[in-house]
Amino acid sequence: MIISHSPTETFDYGCQLAGELRPGAVLALTGELGAGKTCLVKGIAHGLGIAQEVTSPTFTLIHEYRSGRLPLYHVDLYRLDTDADAVGIGIEEYLPSDGVTVIEWAEKIESLLPPGTMRLRLALVNDTSRRIEVA
């Protein structure tokens, strides 16, 4: 468990984590609105050597970034209602993928997450601090 004291610290943590990731890694991110999930993904992208700006996927639910050490698939399921909808968008192809799959609101597809999924639970502590737990 770590406490991040600023968006920069969360970004840096993601950056550091990226160095340990191998092809097929699936990261399940959970945590309320504003917990810092996207901030962490931005750090992971940076750590993988992706220069492009990372923005949250909304309509498509999945954004792909291919300019880094490994492909990054950023999935945001905030707008998703059911597992069946996830299958509808072809999510299984990314569970795992040939690169790194990072999923915001991963609890919505709990039953689809493959064995070995790395779980990162983020929580608000106060305005500027966030708790990050890895399991």
Ligand X SMILES: Nc1ncnc2c1ncn2[C@@H]1O[C@H](COP(=O)(O)OP(=O)(O)OP(=O)(O)O)[C@@H](O)[C@H]1O
Contact call for residue 10 and Mg ion (CB under 5 A): no
Contact call for residue 63 and Mg ion (CB under 5 A): no
Taking the complex as a whole, how short is the minimal distance between the CB of residue 34 and Mg ion, in angstroms? 8
**Closer CB to Mg ion, 10 or 38, in the complex:** 38
The amino acid that residue 133 corresponds to is E
CA distance 65 to 51: 9
**Closer CB to ligand X, 24 or 56, in the complex:** 56
Taking the complex as a whole, how short is the minimal distance between the CB of residue 115 and Mg ion, in angstroms? 25
Scan residues 30-89 and list those touching ligand X (CB under 6 A).
31, 33-39, 56, 78
CA distance 128 to 113: 30
Question: Measuring CA to CA, how many Å separate 2 from each of 51, 118, 120, 122, 133?
Answer: 26, 16, 11, 10, 7
Q: Which of helix, strand or coil describes residue 126?
A: coil
Residues that bind Mg ion (CB under 5 A): 37-38, 56, 104
